[in-house]
Structure 1
């Protein structure tokens, strides 16, 4: 199926494109397992010098925490970094945005997901957007209004964190259905948590935004079924697309632009390329660090098995639930089945907030150490 890989006298060149959860744990797992049996040069290519905890971007926005850690401190000894953006992946080489080219024997594509915000909004799902939102938020004075567009967990955590960190502001969250991925009981508990923080909930779709035409230069947000309202800062908290690097490079992608992979997380177009994390079209997966980390680790383990002359094992992963914070002193843990369908069971309150914080810390620790285990999928 995959053939046996001979041990080469020359160094094997492995490139990891992207240093989020999937790319960083893949690089560290490769350094830990592949280099034991094969001389390999592992290079991580990333547009910024930091590892960004996307699960903490809402804290970065609100000024209640920090989401960036120097990438050098997250990578194992022997892993090198190259700052830059990959413009295209070719036959055994990549071209960077500065025109430089790097060759590879194997490549791990881990560019994550991105956002496509409405005009006049600031996206909070990227590092650059979170920094812009943080600076804009610091300029607001008491009584002004912040609107968060997006009713998923990203939007809920963003609105909650801002309301917790800046109780002097008016905070509004707008979306079709608040916490639609949770059980009915958990959705009700999220609403009560938002109410306690003073967050106004508007369940409606945004039609358009007219920037700066309201009183004092505020944005005017038009909804499909309600009257428009003004907003002094409008944040976009919808994660809905992936970078087009795979499609631009001629790899087969699905309708959402994610790289189509086989059972071992290899591109069906080029088996030298592993795709992991949000940019990989893995059936049944959702965008989350709980998805990215097992995929990055499994792909690295697969390459290590192949180098040893062993057959790869199909990727398998099961979910246990979802976790979200509602400010620093409240949170919610939603239990789920392995196939990610939710159960009625959930936990909320201060204990859930503490548990969510521990989950975030464990994710970072495991990414750095490559010591990570996960639940297998249902058979």
Structure 2
């Protein structure tokens, strides 16, 4: 039984390790564009220099799993085609390529490893008094701006978004903004329409919908909203966002041999998050094991209960939610939220590596 896992983020790594734990004769190959596992939920720390967000996949994947570093061009008809011309056949596959970023020209994306590395290098070289602009008022932008402001108090940090902290309950919204202000992050509720080049390669002007122009020495794009086009390019049915459409068992509706998990899966009601991806990977791997035993797969369901946002290393906000991810009035802030956020990040990594649920 040949199993191919495409992508080795949280969902792909967990799926591969769990399949290996639950099957005896499966020949598992993981295909990933780099030899490292990236803790994507910690990329803001990578940028600020407060954490190293990579671990060699050789230390994360089980010994009986083969790793192929490469780029997949197409998947279908029981075969994975790589960019270098190699073809790998499979009986079952797990598509777990996650989400990606399409940054505005003139900005550096913070939601990818390559972007985080570039941002880290530029930030390290910036002198005191430099102006950093983070675009994106959601959790990624808030965490990036907070982490940089705390790690580099000698620079000025600005966070721009149409509604910074929007989508939270009223109390959590106020608390997040108070945390940003405590870190002296300038909050600008506006929409960016253009980032122009200045005298230096990464110097420029951030132009707002309101007509204001803001000078910026380093402009970071902190909006994660896209998925790789591999599923669409391979002819699998996708939704309007390019995510592979799946059935209730997390199998592609175009090919039942392909399980799709994580951000690239069009699961109704799911949001981009490792908090979403890990339970999907567990369920898909378990359904694969059920099929091998001649049993029926089980429908996937997963209730949400919170959203965590860090505000540097010493502060955070946990927004409690209903099962459908709609927000409750209740939230937790301060040290307790920091502990919950750190436990979640640590649990995500340990669960992916062990292939055993820690939820």
* 1:4 aligned partner: none
* 1:151 aligned partner: 137
Aligned partners of 1:217, 1:189: CA distance in 2, in Å? 33
The answer (yes or no) to whether the contact 2:202–2:218 under 8 Å persists in 1 is no
One of 247, 257, 260 as aligned partner of 1:272: 257
* 2:63 aligned partner: 77
The answer (yes or no) to whether the contact 2:100–2:226 under 8 Å persists in 1 is yes
Aligned partners of 2:75, 2:67: CA distance in 1, in Å? 18
Aligned partners of 1:267, 1:311: CA distance in 2, in Å? 16
* 2:288 aligned partner: 303
One of 56, 60, 67 as aligned partner of 2:46: 60
Q: What is the CA deviation profile of residues 162-202 of structure 1, one whole-angstrom value per residue up to 9, with x for unaligned ones?
A: 00000000000000111223111101000000000000000
SS in 2 for 1:14: strand
One of 246, 250, 267 as aligned partner of 1:261: 246
Q: What is the CA deviation profile of residues 230-271 of structure 1, one whole-angstrom value per residue up to 9, with x for unaligned ones?
A: 000000000010000000000000000000000000000000
Please say if 1:248 is aligned against 2:248.
Answer: no
* 1:185 aligned partner: 171
> Residues 1-379 of structure 1: matches in 2 within 5 Å?
12-35=1-24, 39-213=25-199, 218-372=203-357, 374=359
Q: Which runs of 4+ in 1 moved over 3 A?
A: none
The answer (yes or no) to whether the contact 1:163–1:169 under 8 Å persists in 2 is yes
The answer (yes or no) to whether the contact 2:251–2:260 under 8 Å persists in 1 is yes
Q: What is the CA deviation profile of residues 55-88 of structure 1, one whole-angstrom value per residue up to 9, with x for unaligned ones?
A: 1000000001111011111112311100001011
Aligned partners of 1:197, 1:241: CA distance in 2, in Å? 30
Unaligned runs of 5+ in 1: 1-11, 375-379
Alignment CA distance shift 1:96-1:343 (3 Å)? same
Aligned partners of 1:359, 1:293: CA distance in 2, in Å? 11
Aligned partners of 1:92, 1:227: CA distance in 2, in Å? 54
SS in 2 for 1:351: helix
How much has 1:34 moved relative to structure 2? 2.2
The answer (yes or no) to whether the contact 1:87–1:245 under 8 Å persists in 2 is yes
Moved more, 353-362 or 331-340: 353-362
Aligned partners of 2:167, 2:68: CA distance in 1, in Å? 37
How much has 1:226 moved relative to structure 2? 4.1
Alignment CA distance shift 1:100-1:350 (3 Å)? same
TM-score, normalised with respect to structure 1: 0.93
The answer (yes or no) to whether the contact 1:321–1:335 under 8 Å persists in 2 is yes
TM-score, normalised with respect to structure 2: 0.98
How much has 1:373 moved relative to structure 2? 5.4
The answer (yes or no) to whether the contact 2:48–2:147 under 8 Å persists in 1 is yes
The answer (yes or no) to whether the contact 1:34–1:303 under 8 Å persists in 2 is no
CA RMSD in angstroms comes to 1.2
- Count of equivalent residues: 359
SS in 1 for 2:349: helix
How much has 1:352 moved relative to structure 2? 1.4
SS in 2 for 1:135: helix
Q: What is the CA deviation profile of residues 334-373 of structure 1, one whole-angstrom value per residue up to 9, with x for unaligned ones?
A: 1111110110110111221122111111111111111215
